[in-house]
Amino acid sequence: MNQGAGKTAAEKTAGKKAYDERVRRLVDAVELREPDRVPVSLGLSYFPAKFTGGEVWDAFYDFPKWREAYLAAAREYEPDRLLLVPSACGRTLETVQARQTKWPGHGVARHHTHQFVEGEYMKEDEYDLFLNDMSDFLVRVYLPRAYGILGPLGKFPPLSSLFNILPYDTLASDGFVKMMEAMTEAAREAVHWQQNWAELAREVEEAGFFCAMPLMGVGSPFDMISDFLRGMRGAMLDMFRRPDKLRRACEQMCRLMLERIAAAPAADGFAPVFMPLHRGAHGFMSLGQFETYYWPYLKAVCSALIGKGYTPDLFFEGDYNSRLEYIAELPRGKAIARFDQVDMVRAKAIVGENLCIAGNMPVSTLQMGTKAEVERECKRIIDAAAPGGGFIMSPASSLDEVNPENMRVWIDCTKEYGQY
């Protein structure tokens, strides 16, 4: 149902005007010009539950309630951009027996945010299988480990052997039939859920807020291997015990990303591609390891996105102070570098000459600070990063548990103090 269908012509006109103004403000910042004021970008995540007194569970099971909560938070705080990252459908996660996620009511309490469950879904002795035939590995090994319902796929013969004959004995088994029935139901639920989120995105934009999130799932090749295949521990050990195979895996994952980008349509207008980056920080790898396993492949992905007209929106989680010179290598005015634990004075001096920088309001201050502390920190960041343009105000990390009153103080201060 299109909730925007009941809007008056005046409301639609006002929403379109506000949307265009916010996009222009964001584009000016990205292209290193001074907008009228510092833009505000928010990833609300599960904050709408805190704001409305609801439960995080609603984001997975009660979409009408979650929609109302999300729109209420958006209208209250009026950011220029909303990072609209869809939650998964809880019923789909149940049906596929997802093992890489704990979600409200399944592994964590109903009011708790979801948790990613790392593990070695690719064992240390399986690199060769991954490198020699990635599709075969993903179908017969990875997917059955990550999703319990897909266990029958592990009984398939190697995919390369299916050239002229199908494994009828496997296809006819009770387990395979049950798997297909369950996956059909899961797919129906997932499609309906995706339609709900697409409709919410339309409503958010009709209300005047930019929220486009194209090409979700594109990211750092090393992170993909560390997050989903080897786990943090496995990937860190591999840098010492099997460096050549890890490097080749990064190359292969990079090729996969580049193929996906090449197959995507060219961007139509301002199209930032959000990429949270986990493992390239100082606490995870040395500078030499960053140069070998991380930066070359991330830079290649960014270059491919820019070539198709997209704007890489890079969220550098953790401490990247020693990596700033590398980040500054990206083409001028073509990407966003959002920081978590970085000195914004140095970031402005090194990265800000070439790229729009964003960040890094401490969530701890928003959660526990006084009004005066929130205003003082907000002004400090603006003084460091905003002069000359090329800056977007955003939180350092997730807003799930912040104080709603402090959110109001922070955003009002940004809009008032951040005037050019």
What average pLDDT does the chain have? Answer: 94
Please, what's the b/e burial string for 107-122 (b: 16 or more CB within 10 A of its CB; e: otherwise)? ebeeebbbeeebeebb
Residue 5: per-residue pLDDT: 55
Task: Read off the pLDDT of each residue in 205-223 and give the average, rounded to a whole number.
Answer: 91
Looking at residue 124, what DSSP letter applies?
A: G
> CA-CA distances (angstroms) from residue 93 to 104, 275, 285, 396?
11, 23, 33, 29
Does the pLDDT of residue 298 top 60, yes or no?
yes
CA distance 56 to 35: 36
Single-letter code of the amino acid located at 57: W
What pLDDT, in 10s, does the model give residues 352-367?
999 999 999 999 999 9
If pLDDT is split at 50, 70 and 90, which confidence band does 215 have? Answer: confident
> How many of the other CB atoms lie within 10 Å of CB of 299?
16
> How many of the other CB atoms lie within 10 Å of CB of 139?
17
What pLDDT, in 10s, does the model give residues 374-388?
999 999 999 999 999
Q: Answer yes or no: are the C-beta atoms of 58 and 49 closer than 8 Å.
A: yes
The encoded tokens of residue 251 equal 């190359």
The encoded tokens of residue 51 equal 């704001």
Does the pLDDT of residue 401 top 80, yes or no?
yes
Residue 170: per-residue pLDDT: 81
Q: In sequence order, what are the beta bridge partners of 311?
A: 272
**Percent of the chain with pLDDT strictly greater than 70:** 99
Single-letter code of the amino acid located at 197: W
CA distance 46 to 232: 25
What residues contact 395, with CB distance under 8 A and at least 6 apart? 42, 43, 359, 360, 361, 363, 366, 402
What pLDDT, in 10s, does the model give residues 166-182?
788 888 899 999 999 99
Percent helix, strand and coil across the chain, each rounded to 5? Answer: 55, 10, 30
CA distance 312 to 276: 11
> Given phi > 0 = left and psi -120 to 50 = alpha, else beta, which region is 215?
left
Residue 1: per-residue pLDDT: 44
Side-chain half-sphere of 414: how many Cα atoms within 13 Å? 29
Check the CA dihedral 46-48-53-58 and report its sign: negative
CA distance 33 to 155: 57
The encoded tokens of residue 71 equal 């729109």
Q: Please report, in angstroms and rounded to a whole number, the separation of the first and last CA atoms in the chain.
A: 41
Residue 6: per-residue pLDDT: 67
CA distance 112 to 93: 16
Determine phi and psi for 216, rounding to 5 degrees: -65, 140
What pTM was estimated for this model as a whole? 0.94
What pLDDT, in 10s, does the model give residues 35-73?
999 999 999 999 999 999 999 999 999 999 999 999 999
Determine phi and psi for 180, rounding to 5 degrees: -65, -40
Single-letter code of the amino acid located at 304: A
What pLDDT, in 10s, does the model give residues 2-16?
555 567 888 889 999
Q: Answer yes or no: are the C-beta atoms of 402 and 50 closer than 8 Å.
A: yes
If pLDDT is split at 50, 70 and 90, which confidence band does 216 have? Answer: confident
Residue 23: per-residue pLDDT: 97
CA distance 135 to 128: 13
Q: What is the Cα 191 distance to its own chain's centre?
A: 20
Q: Answer yes or no: are the C-beta atoms of 363 and 403 closer than 8 Å.
A: no
CA distance 380 to 357: 15
CA distance 278 to 118: 13
Single-letter code of the amino acid located at 171: L
What pLDDT, in 10s, does the model give residues 126-146?
999 999 999 999 999 999 999
What residues contact 37, with CB distance under 8 A and at least 6 apart? 25, 414, 415, 418, 419, 420
What pLDDT, in 10s, does the model give residues 85-114?
889 999 999 999 999 999 999 999 999 999
**Beta strands at 356-361 and 391-395: parallel, antiparallel or unpaired:** parallel
Does the pLDDT of residue 193 top 80, yes or no?
yes
